A and B are shown apart, each in its own frame.
Chain A
Amino acid sequence: MKHAYDLSRDNVQFGDLGRRWGTIALAVGVLGTAAAAGLGFAAGDGGKRFFWAWLVAFAYFLAMGLGALVWVMIQHMTRSGWSVLLRRIAEGIAGALPMLALLFVPLLFGLGELYHWAHADAVAHDPLLAKKAAYLNVPFFVARWAIYFAVWCGTAWALSRASRAQDASGDPALTLRMQRVSYAMIVPFAVTLTFAAFDLLMSLDPHWFSSIFGVYYFAGAIWLFFAVMPVLVWRLQANGRLTGAITPDLYQEMGKLLFAFGVFWAYIAFSQFMLIWYANLPEETGWYLKRWNGGWPLVGLLLILGHFFAPFLLIMSRAAKRNLRILIPVALWAMLMQWLDFYYIAMPEYEPGSGRVPLSLLDLAAFLGVGGLFFWMVSRNLASAPLVPVDDPRLHESLVFEEGV
């Protein structure tokens, strides 16, 4: 039988490289934020465009963090062995959720620019909004987000802390503790993610509703994480980290997940669209009608082709998933497509019904601002511990892992 790869032959310390990446990310984040603030100020619209750009960037990196967190929880709940080598990287991404709590604060100053329901006079003149006011109001919104971040950051922190403690002690009881934390937190996680998706994106059009929307956000979030993971691993290996331990077999596993959840996203997106199209009720179709004129149909078409068909066809075969020249470009493309998906969800509500796709440098600046600061924290997390859980009791299963077929 195959013998486990000897991990001591690999460099598992992020160390100096991590500090260098962190510095670059911090610089990008600060410059991006400054540029976004400057451009937002220059737009002369009271910051409206800035807040919308920030919202899309925030929704994107929040999805990445939540995707990583739920993946770690699932690995513990299913007592997974093959994925141990990759888990620390996901813990590092999920561990940057507190940064997103900080980056959420700017949005609180723009609630009036983003959300129609945040205007008391609008609610007073709109019987539908008046009915929803018990849920859609500013104090409750802020309180909910405090709870969401407490659940997410607390879970990520508890899992990461136990995982790092195990590096020193190798205590299998810590594995059981992480398992218990994951079991305890999975229901709060599902509830908070769902309502966060309702609050952040669905309530941009406060008249519209879709009961699948939480699942839709989840599908995008976990898909985004499955795209980020191989890219990060690839960059780490290109810089001499984990060069021997992570084999094409593990890339194939990551590729399979990217493939499968691309299909899952398409299934969820199709379910929502088809049911609304078929029933043709004005209270629901309004949301799609705003995406039915001007430049938006092209964006929608690009999502169908680029978010679903292209990755589906390109990484279906075994050889493609094991070939980094195919897998990595597809993963990078997937990251772009998930951003476009959030753009498609949010931005038609910026000037509802105009049909204009308001692409702007601000979107790029906000993306770099939020992303840079987020990855600054990811780098710091990853640099402060080995890149793999070096004494996980199931590490050997990951080290001997081979694809059978």
Chain B
Amino acid sequence: MTTAVIDNTNDNPRARSPLVLGDTSLTRVTDLVCSVYERPATRGWYIAFGISASLTLLLFAMIGYLFARGIGVWGLNHPVGWAFDITNFVFWVGIGHAGTLISAILFLFRQKWRTSINRSAEAMTIFAVACAGIFPLIHIGRPWLAYWLFPYPNQMAMWPGFRSPLLWDVFAVSTYATVSLLFWYMGMVPDLATMRDRATTRPRQIAYGLLSLGWRGSNRHWLRFEKAYLLLAALATPLVLSVHSVVSFDFAVSVLPGWHTTIFPPYFVAGAIFSGFAMVLTLLIPVRQIFGLKDLITPKHLDNMTRIILATSLMVGYSYAIEFFIAWYSGNSFELFAFLNRSLGPYWWAYWIMVTCNVIVPQVFWFKFFRSNTTAIFITSLLVNVGMWFERFVIIVTSLHRDYLPSSWGMFKPTAVDLLTMLGSFGLFFTLFLLFIRFLPFVAMAEVKSVMPHVLHEAGPTALGDYWGDAPRDHRAPDKGAH
């Protein structure tokens, strides 16, 4: 098995770069992807799993402590009544957006390179939404009454506040979780059938047999699968925009300087996609290295993702700048104070971490040297994750800590419980992701095969090849185009 990586990021307008490198036989794709879970787990995996599972336990311990003692164990107090909990919620919901963008919007845009990364990004979406969902639930004070968030007929004749964006969040996030889960699972069915067929032990045969829903890869199955895939992509596309827009409404519908500004919905969406792609890179760069998937997740894929990071970083930077300009232009001294205080006040360091990580550092991706340097990409992706966490912290805490009356001014200091709960949520996220690597198809095998050059050549643009992508060949030299 050769894993020699050639540079497929060249910019030759006459030919499209191949999306799978090395030996491009279909069997090899299956072997490569299945080897990820068929090989016995390595010591490294056990160590990573041990650490993240311990952190998950820590998360649940912290939640138990919180339930026993009450919200006071967090650093929340007047005037900062929202801090780490909502920051973590927005951060994790945002992370999920890259998965939906890759699986839905890039699908509709016929971006074939998405096939190598969509499965893992969708999985990341589910796990991130799971982490996000925890925070509002544990923040409500009396979590055993969480079901009151749903509008159901009850003998108390009590209904949630339909005009509250917090209720819109309940609907937006639960819809998002449902559609993402369906999309992820449905897309996995053909690959689960492959795993069923390759399974050597009885439990695996039964488990994957059940999960693959009797998939036999017949024409009729594929026809329905493709229709359903397209419909789910179309349904998931507005969710990419709507979910984080609703999250932004949590802040923007208020009258608080620093929260209330009309650019918030698209600004939050851009930031969500930005942070999500950073997390995809954070996860995929080690995985492709450790599990030998460099021929599937190629330099081209990394290059494309860094371009999306650069584009969304510019959108986020645009929003920061326009917000600041309008704060001045509005002539409203409270508005201007909020922004000057944000950048020069007691939390100046958080603001400048945010600007540095989100706007300044990603500019390195203008240069090919950084787009093709895996270490540089990995470090940048980590910094973007940090920056985007701080963005939410800055928006939430700096806007709250200077109340309208100077006598009500205060500072927020996280407690150990705040910090450990956040750390624990990362533990849960990585635990789920590590389990996903071991038990489910990490790369969408069927989809990758459909964008490989010889499949496209034989099938032509009207067949499977076109379903997953455009028709990329040079008609003057059909065999040179792809290699």
Q: Which residues of A contact B (CB under 8 A)?
A: 1-4, 79, 81-82, 127-128, 131-132, 135, 172, 175-176, 179, 183, 186-187, 190-191, 194, 198, 207, 209-215, 263, 267-268, 271-272, 274-276, 278-281, 283, 393-394, 396-397, 399-405
Contact = CB atoms under 8 A, between A and B. Distances in A.
Interface string B229-264: 010000000100100010001001111000011111
A281 B471 contact: no
Contact of B462 (A198, A215, A271, A402): A402
Which 3 residue pairs of A and B lie closest in terms of their CB atoms, listed nearest first? A1-B460, A211-B263, A404-B466
Contacts of A4: 475
Contact of B14 (A128, A172, A403): A172
A275 B264 contact: yes
Contacts of A210: 262, 326
Given A211-B323, A393-B14, A400 B263 contact: no
B262 A401 contact: no
B11 A176 contact: yes
A209 B330 contact: yes
A164 B157 CA distance: 71
A209 B329 contact: yes
Contacts of B253: 274-275, 278-279
Contacts of B466: 402-404
Contact of A275 (B262, B323, B332): B262
Nearest to A3: B475
B479 interface: no
A272 B471 contact: no
Nearest to B255: A279
**Main SS at interface, chain A:** helix
Contacts of A213: 262
Contact of B329 (A3, A135, A190, A404): A135
Interface of B: 11-14, 16, 110, 226-227, 230, 238, 241, 245, 249, 252-255, 260-266, 314, 318-319, 322-323, 326, 329-332, 366, 457, 459-462, 466-468, 470-476
Contacts of A135: 329
A85 B208 CA distance: 47
Contacts of A263: 238
B462 A404 contact: yes
Nearest to B474: A396
B13 A393 contact: yes
Contact of A82 (B323, B459, B470): B470
A394 B13 contact: yes
A129 B474 CA distance: 60
A271 B266 contact: yes
Contacts of A128: 331
A175 B323 CA distance: 36
Nearest to B330: A209
Contacts of A79: 11, 13
A194 B476 CA distance: 43
Nearest to A403: B466
A349 to B, nearest CB: 17
A263 B473 CA distance: 33
16 contacts: A81-B472, A172-B12, A172-B14, A191-B318, A194-B322, A207-B331, A210-B326, A211-B261, A212-B265, A215-B263, A268-B266, A271-B245, A271-B262, A274-B249, A279-B255, A283-B332
Nearest to A191: B318
A243 B450 CA distance: 32
A215 B16 CA distance: 33
- Residue among A1, A2, A279 with the most chain B CB within 10 A? A1
B462 A400 contact: no
Given A2-B460, A172-B14, A400 B467 contact: no
B423 to A, nearest CB: 34
B13 A1 contact: no
A280 B323 CA distance: 19
A172 B13 contact: yes
A279 B252 CA distance: 8
Contact of B475 (A267, A271, A400): A400
A2 B471 contact: yes
B254 A279 contact: yes
A283 B249 CA distance: 19
Contact of A397 (B238, B254, B471): B471
A396 B323 CA distance: 44
Contacts of A176: 11, 13
